[in-house]
């Protein structure tokens, strides 16, 4: 539910299993069985919300280490509580619940897990999670609040694990922290999910059945070498079946969502106003007090030699970076400091200098990510994803995995994904770079057609023919400051600009 789509490998299973088991042990004598389960769910949810809020900004190895440490941290806290407050470590559990009842309760819980997982994958949150797993930065710029989505699903999965722990607790008559917070549980769950294929709902089941049987045999036959064999199985699965059994046989389930571009109103007032904006990295002023305004409906160029601060400026406009100083207004709203997904939802979309598509998602799904959380209309749109794909020239590629596209087609896809936000302003970061002359001609026509739809464009570009053909006005940046502004012909004839590009002539 969580690790599969997001690819955040979580070893926190033992922590929540232990929380559930220990909550049942502590409340066993005072609360009824349903209330014990509810309490376990509540405690698990609260701990997951607190730890998730503080750690889901971590990714990769840092998140794995944290999640592994969480079980140990909670175990130590419980031991401290038992020693200092309860005055004895461990609890006896006397329950009249039979093993058969526990079995059926676990079956019901498994059914609920699958129902929740099924509903999740069918909801927009399912696609949002997969988008986050494929490329979290691109997902944020598609309007997805990655932190909130991850936190929500982390809490839901933690609740299921806590209730599992609580149901399992009566199987032991005595529980101590070492039993409840056994780290091996986390590894076993990850291995099972990996074997079957963590990316699908049914995958983990395919892993659970053979591995549970194998673990039974191994604990009986090789009790002292169990961990070694488990480690070898782990390595073997990662090397041989990186996407699990299901990844070998499954053709990805796809669906189409609807998204669109609406024609924004044009007005003579500036749509974007940048005032004295600056960004420093340590001692380096990458952008230094830049001011400019972009009128609704125009194509505005940002040019300048390498390293002059153009991408840094675009990153600040799109929310990837927070300006060190200055103000950015988009349609009257101050947007500096806003999270990337909020800026995207306001209708300011972008493409990236180094193209960012979500390779495992289909072309259509990539575009659909932008329609997930766009205003109250969600995925409902006047134009379909298909129409957007036709517009950028990918009409017959909707069901192909984005990772199979050529570089140029990936750029087209990025543009379609940006357009699916129904943006009023699109930031293009060297979108025309690397195109051959024919592709360049098509690309220029495509950008011009966006303006005809009323979309305002800010483009960073090194291809001067495109700047001349497309831009109404532009600024030239050098060493973080604007050194010229005006029409393309004016600025490209400016001696200061020529010097900035070519350097001072030799004396
Ligand atoms: N995250 C960062 N940390 C430190 N320095 C950075 C960072 N991002 C950019 N810079 C520096 O800021 C300066 C401006 O970089 P930026 O990428 O904005 O330039 P650019 O005009 O877009 O260049 P190019 O045309 O090559 O893409 C460069 O000196 C770069 O090394």
- Residue-wise pLDDT tens digits, 124-174: 888 888 888 878 888 888 888 888 888 899 999 999 999 999 998 888 888
Average pLDDT over residues 173-195: 82
- With contact defined as beta carbons under 8 Å apart, do 9 and 34 qualify? no
Whose C-alpha lies nearest to ligand 1, atom 4?
A: 281
The answer to whether residue 112 sits within a structural domain is: yes
336 CB near ligand 1 (under 6 Å): no
The answer to whether residue 235 sits within a structural domain is: no
| 439/192 Cα distance (integer angstroms) | 47
Residues of the chain with pLDDT > 90, as a percent, come to 26
Which among 393, 448, 402, 453 has a CA at the least distance from the CA of 423? Answer: 453
**pLDDT-derived band at 71, boundaries 50, 70, 90:** confident
pLDDT at 272 over 90: yes
168 with 277, same domain: the answer is: no
**pLDDT-derived band at 45, boundaries 50, 70, 90:** very high
Whose C-alpha lies nearest to ligand 1, atom 8?
A: 312
174 with 274, same domain: the answer is: no
**pLDDT-derived band at 257, boundaries 50, 70, 90:** very low
304 CB near ligand 1 (under 6 Å): yes
284 CB near ligand 1 (under 6 Å): yes
The answer to whether residue 116 sits within a structural domain is: yes
Range of the domain at 401: 270-502
The answer to whether residue 263 sits within a structural domain is: no
How many Å lie between the centroid of ligand 1 and the Cα of residue 395? 35
Whose C-alpha lies nearest to ligand 1, atom 11?
A: 286
3-state secondary structure (DSSP) of residue 334:
strand
How many Å lie between the centroid of ligand 1 and the Cα of residue 132? 25
Higher pLDDT, 199 or 4: 4
How many Å lie between the centroid of ligand 1 and the Cα of residue 309? 5
How many Å lie between the centroid of ligand 1 and the Cα of residue 308? 7
**pLDDT-derived band at 184, boundaries 50, 70, 90:** confident
**pLDDT-derived band at 216, boundaries 50, 70, 90:** confident
Q: What is the pLDDT of residue 67?
A: 83
Q: What is the pLDDT of residue 20?
A: 93
How many Å lie between the centroid of ligand 1 and the Cα of residue 311? 7
307 CB near ligand 1 (under 6 Å): yes
315 CB near ligand 1 (under 6 Å): no
161 with 307, same domain: the answer is: no
364 with 477, same domain: the answer is: yes
Indicate the pTM of the whole model.
0.67
Give me the chain's average pLDDT, please. Answer: 84
27 with 171, same domain: the answer is: yes
| 201/324 Cα distance (integer angstroms) | 44
β-pair type (174-175, 91-92): antiparallel
175 with 316, same domain: the answer is: no
3-state secondary structure (DSSP) of residue 377:
coil
Question: Which region among 304-318, 333-347, 473-487 has the lowest average model confidence (pLDDT)?
Answer: 333-347
- With contact defined as beta carbons under 8 Å apart, do 394 and 357 qualify? no
Q: Is the ipTM of this complex over 0.85?
A: yes
The answer to whether residue 249 sits within a structural domain is: no
| Non-local CB neighbours of 302 within 8 Å, separated by 6+ positions | 310, 313, 314, 458, 459, 460, 461, 474, 475, 477
310 CB near ligand 1 (under 6 Å): yes
Average pLDDT over residues 13-22: 91
| Non-local CB neighbours of 286 within 8 Å, separated by 6+ positions | 279, 280, 309, 312, 480
| 205/202 Cα distance (integer angstroms) | 5
DSSP 225-292: SHHHHHHHHHHHHHHH-TTHHHHHHPPPP--------PPPPP-SSEEEEEEEEEEEETTEEEEEEEEE
pLDDT at 181 over 80: yes
Geometric angle at alpha carbon 340, from 391 and 482, rounded to 5° = 85
459 with 346, same domain: the answer is: yes
How many Å lie between the centroid of ligand 1 and the Cα of residue 287? 9
Average pLDDT over residues 337-341: 87
Give the side-chain half-sphere CA count within 13 A for 137.
13
Q: What is the pLDDT of residue 247?
A: 64
Q: What is the pLDDT of residue 268?
A: 55
| Non-local CB neighbours of 465 within 8 Å, separated by 6+ positions | 440, 444
Q: What is the pLDDT of residue 374?
A: 62
275 with 145, same domain: the answer is: no
Average pLDDT over residues 27-47: 90
Residues of the chain with pLDDT > 70, as a percent, come to 90
Residue 282 CA: nearest ligand 1 atom is 4
Residue 308 CA: nearest ligand 1 atom is 21
The answer to whether residue 427 sits within a structural domain is: yes
91-105 burial, b if ≥16 CB within 10 A, otherwise e?
Answer: bebebeeeeeebeeb
Average pLDDT over residues 15-20: 92
Residue 160: is it exposed, middle or buried by C-beta count within 10 angstroms (0-12/13-18/19+)?
Answer: buried
| 419/428 Cα distance (integer angstroms) | 11
Last residue of a domain, one of 155, 182, 209: 182
pLDDT tens-digit map of 304-330: 998 899 999 999 999 999 999 999 999
Residue 462 CA: nearest ligand 1 atom is 25
- With contact defined as beta carbons under 8 Å apart, do 110 and 204 qualify? no
| 97/101 Cα distance (integer angstroms) | 6
| 434/406 Cα distance (integer angstroms) | 12
Average pLDDT over residues 219-241: 81
Average pLDDT over residues 106-110: 93
Whose C-alpha lies nearest to ligand 1, atom 7?
A: 281
283 CB near ligand 1 (under 6 Å): no
- With contact defined as beta carbons under 8 Å apart, do 233 and 257 qualify? no
Q: What is the pLDDT of residue 301?
A: 94
β-pair type (299-303, 456-460): parallel
322 CB near ligand 1 (under 6 Å): no
Q: What is the pLDDT of residue 381?
A: 54
351 with 489, same domain: the answer is: yes
| 190/159 Cα distance (integer angstroms) | 17
pLDDT at 264 over 70: no
The answer to whether residue 135 sits within a structural domain is: yes
Residue 312 CA: nearest ligand 1 atom is 18
153 with 31, same domain: the answer is: yes
Mutate to test the pocket of ligand 1, among 277, 303, 307 (most ligand atoms within 8 A of CB): 307
How many Å lie between the centroid of ligand 1 and the Cα of residue 498? 21
What sign for the dihedral angle of Cα 131, 133, 139, 145?
positive
Average pLDDT over residues 68-79: 86
Question: Which region among 3-7, 71-75, 262-266, 432-436 has the lowest average model confidence (pLDDT)?
Answer: 262-266
Which among 409, 12, 7 has a CA at the least distance from the CA of 187? Answer: 12
**pLDDT-derived band at 275, boundaries 50, 70, 90:** very high
Give the side-chain half-sphere CA count within 13 A for 37.
13
The answer to whether residue 19 sits within a structural domain is: yes
Mutate to test the pocket of ligand 1, among 283, 303, 308 (most ligand atoms within 8 A of CB): 308
Last residue of a domain, one of 182, 213, 235: 182
Q: How many domains does the chain have?
A: 2
Residue 480 CA: nearest ligand 1 atom is 14
Last residue of a domain, one of 157, 182, 207: 182
Whose C-alpha lies nearest to ligand 1, atom 5?
A: 281
Structure tokens at 279: 């960004």
pLDDT tens-digit map of 404-413: 888 888 989 9
Tell me the CATH number at 369: 3.40.50.300
pLDDT tens-digit map of 357-381: 888 888 888 888 877 776 544 443 5
364 with 475, same domain: the answer is: yes
163 with 285, same domain: the answer is: no
Structure tokens at 437: 């002359």
Q: For the beta carbon of residue 239, count every other beta carbon within 10 angstroms.
A: 8
Question: Which region among 291-295, 448-452, 502-506 has the lowest average model confidence (pLDDT)?
Answer: 502-506
């Amino acid at each position: 539910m969580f690790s599969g789509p997001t690819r955040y490998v979580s070893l926190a299973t033992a922590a929540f299993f232990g929380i559930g088991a220990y909550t049942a042990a502590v409340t066993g004598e005072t609360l009824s069985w349903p209330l014990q389960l509810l309490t376990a769910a509540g405690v698990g949810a609260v701990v997951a919300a607190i730890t998730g809020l503080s750690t889901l900004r971590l990714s990769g190895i840092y998140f794995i280490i944290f999640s592994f440490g969480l079980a140990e941290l909670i175990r130590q806290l419980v031991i401290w509580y038992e020693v200092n407050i309860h005055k004895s470590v461990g609890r006896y559990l006397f329950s009249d619940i039979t093993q058969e009842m526990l079995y059926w309760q676990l079956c019901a819980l498994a059914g609920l897990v699958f129902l929740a997982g099924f509903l999740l994958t069918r909801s927009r949150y399912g696609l949002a999670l997969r988008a986050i797993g494929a490329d979290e930065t691109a997902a944020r710029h598609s309007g997805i609040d990655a932190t909130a989505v991850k936190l929500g699903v982390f809490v839901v999965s933690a609740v299921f694990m806590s209730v599992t722990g609580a149901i399992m607790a009566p199987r032991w008559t005595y529980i101590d922290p070492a039993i409840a917070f056994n780290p091996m549980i986390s590894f076993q769950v990850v291995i099972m999910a990996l074997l079957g294929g963590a990316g699908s709902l049914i995958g983990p089941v395919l892993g659970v059945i053979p591995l549970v049987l194998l673990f039974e045999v191994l604990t009986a036959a090789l009790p002292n070498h169990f961990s070694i064999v488990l480690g070898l199985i782990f390595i073997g699965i990662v090397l041989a079946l990186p996407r699990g059994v299901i990844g070998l046989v499954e053709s990805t389930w796809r669906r189409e969502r609807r998204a669109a571009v609406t024609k924004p109103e044009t007005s003579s007032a500036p749509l974007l106003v940048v005032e004295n904006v600056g960004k420093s990295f340590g001692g380096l002023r990458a952008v230094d007090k830049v001011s400019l305004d972009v009128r609704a409906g125009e194509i505005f160029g940002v040019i300048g030699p390498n390293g002059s601060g153009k991408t840094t400026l675009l990153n600040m406009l799109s929310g990837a970076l927070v300006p060190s100083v200055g103000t950015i207004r988009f349609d009257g709203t101050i947007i500096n400091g806003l999270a990337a997904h909020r800026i995207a939802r306001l209708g300011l979309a972008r493409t990236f200098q180094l193209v960012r598509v979500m390779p495992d998602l289909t072309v259509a799904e990539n575009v659909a990510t932008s329609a997930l959380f766009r205003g109250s209309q969600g995925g409902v749109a006047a134009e379909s994803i298909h129409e957007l794909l036709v517009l950028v020239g990918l009409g017959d590629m909707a069901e192909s995995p984005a990772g199979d596209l050529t570089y140029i087609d990936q750029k087209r896809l990025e543009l379609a994904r940006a357009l699916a936000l129904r943006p009023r302003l699109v930031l293009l970061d060297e979108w025309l770079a690397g195109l051959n002359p024919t592709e360049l001609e098509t690309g220029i026509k495509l950008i011009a057609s966006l303006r005809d739809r009323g979309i305002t464009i800010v483009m960073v570009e090194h291809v001067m023919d495109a700047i001349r053909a497309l831009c109404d006005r532009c600024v030239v940046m050098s060493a973080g400051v604007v050194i010229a502004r005006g029409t393309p012909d004016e600025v490209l004839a400016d001696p200061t600009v020529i010097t900035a590009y070519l350097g001072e002539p030799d004396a």
